[in-house]
Chain A
Amino acid sequence: MRILIVEDEPPIARDIRWQCKQILGEQINSIEIRQTLESAAEFLSQTKIDLLLLDLNLHGENGFHLLQEAVSGSFHTIIISAFVDQAIEAFKYGVLDFLPKPFDEDRLRTAFDRYFNLGQSHNVTTQFITVKTRNRQYVLSVDDVQYFKAANLYVEIVLISGKTEILDKTMDRLEQILPIHFFRIHRSYIVDLRQIESFTPIIDGSSKLTLKSGEVLPLSRKRHKALRSRLNE
């Protein structure tokens, strides 16, 4: 696991690093500290990481710009912040967790658990997804999405309008931060259940799902049962 800590106060950064090492031990491949947005951006442009620990109140920076930047990356983001009222807002952008300072190993461990637990959880409140296109980034609402489709190391977002966007995340990571009305119907597809028009079972046990837009997506055999129980909830 490759971790980047972006925190402007050195003692705090060192403590977080120490805590990470305590919890993850050998699982850490690298753990870096950067104090400013510029130096962090520069680091990220050259190195891939798995997890970002970000202080929203970085000296002199606008917290939410930072946040939107962060969640557009391929890594998971955990926000560390002094302002608890920012938590609700942060979670709307699809962060993995929000840790109010000061926190200790127990709390950090809970956050790491979220990182390692694949699949969805019930209390995800993500409303926005940030998409980066060359030098631009913009935010789209989760309600505009029909489905997500895997595309190599990226994810293609298919919007209700028919437009598509590219998201720099893996399906697994994406699945962890999507709200419960999204469902992974296939290794390569996550769909908004509200967009499903009808089922068409196929002889081999799998099905075809027809969306409101007319598109047809595959539902794998494995996930058929899970979908059934999800729909019954």
Chain B
Amino acid sequence: MTPLRSVQLILMLVFISVVVPCFSQPVGSNLVIHLIEHRVHPIFKWKYQPGDIPVKESGHTEDSLWTDITSPRTIQQSSAIQWIRKDITLRGELLDSGALGIHIAYLPQAFEVYWNGELIYKNGRVRNSPDEEVPGTINSLFKIPIDATKAGHHALAIRFSNHSPEQHFKGFRASIGYFSELLKQKAHFFHDQYVWFGVFLTVSIISLTLSVSGKKYRSFIFFALFCLCYFINNVIDPAVDAYQVKTSAINFIIGLQFLIFPLSGLFLNVFFLYNYNVPNKWIHIILIVAIKVMINVVFPTLIQTDFHKFITSSYLVGILLYAVLKKKAGSAIALFGVTALTIAIHTHDIYYRDMTLLKPLWSILPFNLTLLFLFCIILSISRQILEENRQIQIAQNRSHRLETQLLKSQIQPHFISNTLHSIKSWFRENPQKAGRLIQTLADEFRLISQISSEKLIAIEEELTLCRYHLELMSHRREVVYELEVDPVPQTEMVPPLIFHTLIENGLTHAYTMGENGKFQIRFSSRKNEKKYTVLNDGSLLKELSSQPKQRIEAGMGLSYVKARLEESYPSQWQLDYGLKDGLWEVNIIIKV
């Protein structure tokens, strides 16, 4: 983890150096606008007056009466009529493009806009009491009268009232520029929203469909939720644009919007945590939630979303770096995509805040980078699916090999040749016995061909196979081999030939010529595991047990047994063996 930690640290530093400039507010409380430029200027660093003042005085720059706004809470304290003010200096002459305009969003509930003491716009009705107050629209776009926008100093003052305690000033923004430019900006904004609406809704539905298609893909529900959040986000703005602020549904939706961004970040993080099976997921989730909650409570500046994004981005990148280090399929592409998304998120607001920070070409960056991100995720997912299919194919091949191995071992010359030659002998000595043993041999082969392609068979079939085998071997060696089995439910399933192989091992290695043998198969189960034990009382294994483990394992068909166990109970089985109480025992333990 150390290299991962240091990379995360480096990334944090990189992001700080990128994000901090975004953090810092434009210098100067006086906004200077050159009319020759077609830019749109965001308005920051407002001044604030907690009470009502005569309108005429709003044009005066009596700084001592006004306080600088440092956080939305500065405003929330009071519920009377309040004022905010910004001094604007215009330089140059108005171009033929027409009048200047102002765009205000999310200033609850009602307000009046004064330019140099003159009312130029009303949004709702500003009143002292909640009953008389009429909320206005969320977005306002209006012109400043042309003759009021000559070169010089101007005062923009807004008189507002907010009698709804649940309203807050998150997302409040205002900008000034040529009205035609502001309209263009709005159009662009809606255009982007509608495209993203379609894209995110589509990807969300696809993701949702994928998540129900298999247990492996359940994590995609979180990606679907992430896309849904973006989708909702992009629906809300156009939807609420024309609505009044006071409707509780609208309030809820607006409140939702400010919840949605951090929530989308959470969902994306959770998706990656589950998709790449990061250990201790819940610790990460709790940490992320805690950080987001802490930010909302401790650093509620007007530009707090930047820190949100920073935290989400670093966490995302951190998770993906972990996935890349663990060589998870498709993780490198996902990391690339997430980097694109991070840049998109961070440049998104720069774009809206000050269009000259980025060249015109770069203004389309957030949009394209977000699409790039989606593309990368889809590519990454397809890689993942390909990899999983490859693993399935490998597992199937392994199963086929095991089946072949099973069949080959049973028609192995040693077994069939010796058995047939034995039968030749019995033909002369005891034809009835010969006949019966041919039948047993045939039955054994029939059973084997029935079970060879299965991964699990009924335990009774396995035991029958063992009994056939022991009968044949008893006659071949002219000794008595017995099999004693614990009672077991008929429904119990085991991989084919695991007991048979162990018994055959015993027959080959444990007994001398002429020695009778007794095999036992015992079952036991505990809370979350079941155990099979195969025992034999051969005399030879007592000395074999003192030999090094490799020698013991090399001669035995244990690799077949282990492969079968791994096939049906991946990483959930254990096998051990040894001498105990004078008997050789092999234990197979399976976690249920």
Contact = CB atoms under 8 A, between A and B. Distances in A.
Interface stretch (B28-36, B274-282, B412-420, B559-567): B412-420
Interface of A: 8-12, 14-15, 18, 35-36, 57, 59-60, 82-84, 100-104
Greatest chain A CB density within 10 A among B414, B422, B425, B429 is at: B425
28 contacts: A9-B421, A9-B422, A9-B476, A9-B477, A10-B477, A10-B478, A11-B426, A11-B429, A11-B476, A11-B478, A12-B421, A14-B425, A14-B429, A15-B421, A15-B428, A57-B414, A59-B512, A59-B513, A60-B508, A60-B540, A82-B413, A82-B415, A101-B418, A102-B417, A102-B420, A102-B421, A102-B424, A104-B424
Nearest to B507: A59
B422 A11 contact: yes
Contact of A60 (B414, B429, B509): B509
Given A11-B426, A11-B475, A101 B421 contact: yes
Contacts of A84: 413
Nearest to A19: B424
Contacts of A83: 413-414
B591 to A, nearest CB: 36
A84 B412 CA distance: 11
Contacts of B477: 8-10
A35 B417 contact: no
A60 B506 CA distance: 12
Greatest chain B CB density within 10 A among A11, A15, A102 is at: A11
Contacts of B478: 9-11
Interface string B397-441: 000000000000000011101101110111011000000000000
A84 B514 CA distance: 27
Interface string B4-33: 000000000000000000000000000000
Contacts, number: 63
Contact of A36 (B418, B429, B513): B513
Contacts of B420: 101-102
Across chains A and B, which 4 residue pairs bring their CB atoms closest together, nearest first? A102-B421, A15-B425, A11-B425, A82-B417
Contacts of B422: 9, 11-12, 15
A12 B425 contact: yes
Nearest to A58: B513
A102 B414 CA distance: 10
Contacts of B421: 9, 11-12, 15, 101-103
B540 to A, nearest CB: 7
Contacts of B476: 9, 11-12
Nearest to A104: B424
Contacts of A60: 508-509, 540
A91 B10 CA distance: 71
B405 to A, nearest CB: 17
Contact of A82 (B418, B508, B512, B513): B418
A60 B540 CA distance: 10
A82 B475 CA distance: 18
A100 B425 contact: no
Nearest to A39: B513
B414 to A, nearest CB: 4
A83 B476 CA distance: 18
A15 B508 CA distance: 22
B514 to A, nearest CB: 8
Contact of B417 (A10, A18, A100): A100
Nearest to A13: B425
Nearest to A8: B513
A35 B413 contact: no
A100 B416 CA distance: 12
B429 A9 contact: no
Contacts of B425: 11-12, 14-15, 18
Nearest to B511: A59
A38 to B, nearest CB: 11
Given A11-B426, A60-B540, 6 more contacts: A8-B477, A8-B513, A12-B418, A12-B476, A100-B413, A102-B420
A35 B413 CA distance: 20
Contacts of B428: 15, 18
A82 B395 CA distance: 33
A8 B478 CA distance: 10
A102 B419 CA distance: 9
B424 A15 contact: yes
Contacts of A82: 413-415, 417-418
A175 to B, nearest CB: 32
A230 to B, nearest CB: 38
Nearest to B513: A35
A8 B512 CA distance: 10
Contact of A101 (B417, B512, B513): B417
A196 B504 CA distance: 55
Contacts of A15: 421-422, 424-425, 428
Contacts of A102: 417, 420-421, 424
A71 to B, nearest CB: 22
B254 to A, nearest CB: 82
Contacts of A12: 418, 421-422, 425, 476
Nearest to B420: A102
A115 to B, nearest CB: 21
Contacts of B415: 82
A9 B413 CA distance: 15
Interface string B501-531: 0000000110011100000000000000000
A14 B434 CA distance: 14
B502 to A, nearest CB: 18
A116 to B, nearest CB: 24
